[in-house]
């Protein structure tokens, strides 16, 4: 039997994608068994308001601009055709059915792991998939059930406390934040007058 292609799924709203996201994806794909990482652009996180979001296709375009010259990281629009809000358990089931030759692993920051117990059918996710967790500065404790869980692997990765919120607010205040984004993304954000 041939080994399944191992894909890491990095979900996010990416409004916009920034160097924090890219450095994590780059680090993980080079320091794990993952063959590729797919940056899955989420139309609507069930726990966030959609109102303040840039259009789905503009966010996807920025992920393409940031990743298209690196074969191991790919942009995915798989959630665009699925019901909203975007429940991760549904997306995983859809992907596993569509790509039976691939093994999917979830990637998330420690901050997201702390609230995983509030996600839809999180027990099903943990039964069927492994999760790679990277460190992030965040408040609150990790729920007992996720400590030393057989499906959760913690991996060391650099910590860069950058957020899309910081970038959006900075641009609104007229700041030049060029080095916080891939240069093509920064150029596009400027040309399109996003977040002004
Ligand atoms: N600087 C960072 N380092 C590592 N992971 C990050 C960083 N910023 C965001 N992430 C993670 O990337 C995923 C997608 O993030 P998201 O698109 O929500 O970005 P964000 O910067 O947190 O956005 P916002 O500020 O709009 O909430 C989430 O799992 C989030 O925890
Ligand atoms: O499935 C859920 O119940 C669920 C609850 C909260 C967040 N998520 C997903 O987690 C991903 C990361 O969200 P974000 O906004 O932190 O980038 C995104 O794909 C969301 O759809 C999923």
The CATH number linked to 67 is 3.40.50.620
Judge whether 189 lies within some domain.
Answer: no
Q: Is 48 in the pocket of ligand 2 (CB under 6 A)?
A: yes
The pLDDT of residue 114 is above 90 = yes
Q: Is 117 in the pocket of ligand 2 (CB under 6 A)?
A: no
Residue nearest to atom 14 of ligand 2 (CA): 12
56-67 vs 183-191: helix crossing angle, rounded to 10: 150
Judge whether 166 lies within some domain.
Answer: no
Looking only at the bridges linking them, the beta strands covering 5-12 and 102-109 are parallel
Half-sphere exposure of 109 (CA within 13 A, CB side): 19
- Please state the separation of Cα 58 from the chain's center in Å: 16
Q: Is 114 in the pocket of ligand 1 (CB under 6 A)?
A: no
**Mean pLDDT, residues 24-37 taken together:** 97
Residue nearest to atom 8 of ligand 1 (CA): 163
Judge whether 195 lies within some domain.
Answer: no
In this predicted model, what pLDDT tens digit does every residue of 135-176 receive, in sequence order? 999 999 999 999 999 999 999 999 999 999 999 999 999 999
* Placement of tokens 């080095």 in the chain: 179
Rounded-to-5 percentages of helix, strand, coil across the chain: 40, 15, 45
Q: How far apart are CA 130 and CA 104, in angstroms?
A: 8
Measure 52 CA to ligand 2 centroid, in angstroms: 16
Judge whether 193 lies within some domain.
Answer: no
Q: Is 86 in the pocket of ligand 2 (CB under 6 A)?
A: yes
Judge whether 149 lies within some domain.
Answer: yes
Residue nearest to atom 23 of ligand 1 (CA): 164
Judge whether 98 lies within some domain.
Answer: yes
- Whole-number pLDDT of residue 124: 98
Measure 11 CA to ligand 2 centroid, in angstroms: 7
Residue nearest to atom 3 of ligand 2 (CA): 119
Tokens of 115: 């609230």
Which atom of ligand 1 is closest in space to residue 24's alpha carbon? Answer: 4
What torsion, rounded to 10 degrees, do the Cα atoms 74, 77, 79, 83 define? Answer: 180
pTM for this prediction: 0.96
Confidence of residue 1 (pLDDT cuts 50, 70, 90): low
Say how many C-beta atoms besides its own lie within 10 A of residue 109's C-beta.
Answer: 19
How many domains is the chain built from? 1
Q: Is 164 in the pocket of ligand 1 (CB under 6 A)?
A: yes
Judge whether 183 lies within some domain.
Answer: no
Measure 1 CA to ligand 1 centroid, in angstroms: 37
Average pLDDT of the chain to the nearest whole number: 95
Q: Is 84 in the pocket of ligand 2 (CB under 6 A)?
A: no
User: Complex ipTM, two decimals?
Assistant: 0.96
- In DSSP terms, 133 is beta-bridged to 108, 154
Judge whether 11 lies within some domain.
Answer: yes
Domain containing 63: what range? 5-160
* Placement of tokens 């063959």 in the chain: 35
In this predicted model, what pLDDT tens digit does every residue of 48-76 receive, in sequence order? 877 778 999 999 999 999 999 999 999 99
């Amino acid at each position: 039997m041939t080994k399944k292609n191992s894909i890491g799924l990095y979900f996010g709203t990416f409004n916009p994608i920034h160097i924090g996201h890219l450095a994590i994806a780059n680090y993980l794909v080079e320091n794990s068994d993952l063959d590729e990482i797919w940056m899955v652009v989420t139309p609507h996180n069930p726990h966030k308001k959609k109102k303040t979001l840039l259009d789905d296709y503009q966010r996807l375009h920025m992920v393409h601009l940031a990743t298209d010259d690196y074969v191991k990281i790919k942009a995915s629009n798989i959630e665009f055709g699925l019901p909203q809000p975007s429940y991760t358990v549904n997306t995983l089931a859809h992907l596993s059915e569509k790509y039976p030759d691939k093994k999917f692993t979830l990637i998330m920051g420690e901050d997201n792991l702390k609230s995983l117990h509030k996600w839809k059918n999180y027990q099903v996710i943990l039964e069927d998939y492994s999760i790679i967790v990277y460190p992030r500065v965040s408040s609150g404790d990790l729920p007992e059930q996720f400590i030393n869980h057989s499906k959760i692997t913690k991996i060391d990765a650099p910590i860069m406390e950058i957020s899309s919120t910081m970038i959006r607010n900075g641009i609104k205040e007229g700041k030049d934040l060029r080095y916080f984004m891939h240069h093509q993304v920064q150029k596009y954000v400027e040309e399109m007058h996003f977040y002004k």
